[in-house]
Structure 1
């Protein structure tokens, strides 16, 4: 049995056609995941499964698409992989609420940093299957565009730390 963390992309947690975390838990259980727990209403779920990562991802994405009527991207990591993401954060001295890991399905291209635009005070670094960004001035007014992160989903380091804690319980 493997402990997984799934991070949903572009989940609408308010307004019309919202996905409640209770509904997300129910969906995960309906596809066979066990010990399902969610964290804050932004599409973070921790669970156990005997399935391989690719099967976990495809089952959850299919279920979410049926619910939402459109594709919903999901990044999946094992608890151990998420621990590595937290440990590999190159901006550990920076405010964790201003530092994010953008989770990708595959390693970022080696030239990912050469294609960014709008960079001002942000610091950016590549990870294994993540792109780390420290928003020195906060995220509210950023103009940063990272084409390689287009299909990714970002979580700040506070959220990553809490998900690691939940995954290791």
Structure 2
């Protein structure tokens, strides 16, 4: 059994693409996943799958949401090991986080091409620091993410890869959930 962290992008935001977590958990169980748990209403799921690749899990969940709820949602899946690595590599862990409100993780579906990384690394964003490591852009937003110029949409455009963003508090909670027997 493999443990996966599922991150859905753009659900339950401003009344768009509404999915109740209880309905999503029921759907995921019907799709054959086990020990399904969710965290808050923004599409953070922990589950277990038997003999599944990340691509297969992404496809099954994306197809299931489309068929059941009637719309497409970007689905990003990370293994427990990859998720732990992403959190451990956080270059801003010693910065003041204001309870997770300044440190953000832009999780990428896959590692971007190096030419895109090099180009983005040359850019400067006022009141923000960032670091790109493998499949994550780590953000330190001195004035909070709501005032950040380098946001999820810009990262996607600059790196030409799908992404979804979570704050330190959410990442820490998800890590805690995967370390507990779900």
What is the TM-score with the length of structure 1 in the denominator? 0.90
Match of 1:151 in 2: 162
Return the offset for 1:84. Answer: 0.8
Q: Which moved more, 1:158-167 or 1:143-152?
A: 143-152
Aligned residue pair count? 169
Per the alignment, do residues 123 and 9 of structure 1 end up closer, same or farther by CA in structure 2, a change over 3 Å counting? same
The root-mean-square deviation of aligned C-alpha atoms, in Å, is 1.9
* TM-score, length-scaled by structure 2: 0.84
* Equivalence for 2:119: 114
Task: Identify the residue that residue 124 of structure 1 maps to in structure 2.
Answer: 130
Mapped partners of 1:37, 1:84: distance in 2: 21
Q: Which runs of 5+ in 2 are unaligned?
A: none
Unaligned runs of 5+ in 1: none
Rounded to whole Å, the distance in 1 between the matches of 2:18 and 2:65 is: 12
Structure 1 residues 81-127: Cα deviation after superposition (integer angstroms, max 9, x where no partner): 11111101011022132111111111023233524867211111112
Question: In the alignment, which residue of structure 2 is the partner of 1:3?
Answer: 3
Is the Cα–Cα contact under 8 Å of residues 109 and 161 in structure 2 kept in the other structure? no
Equivalent position of 1:99 in the other structure: 103
1:158 Cα deviation from its structure 2 partner? 1.2
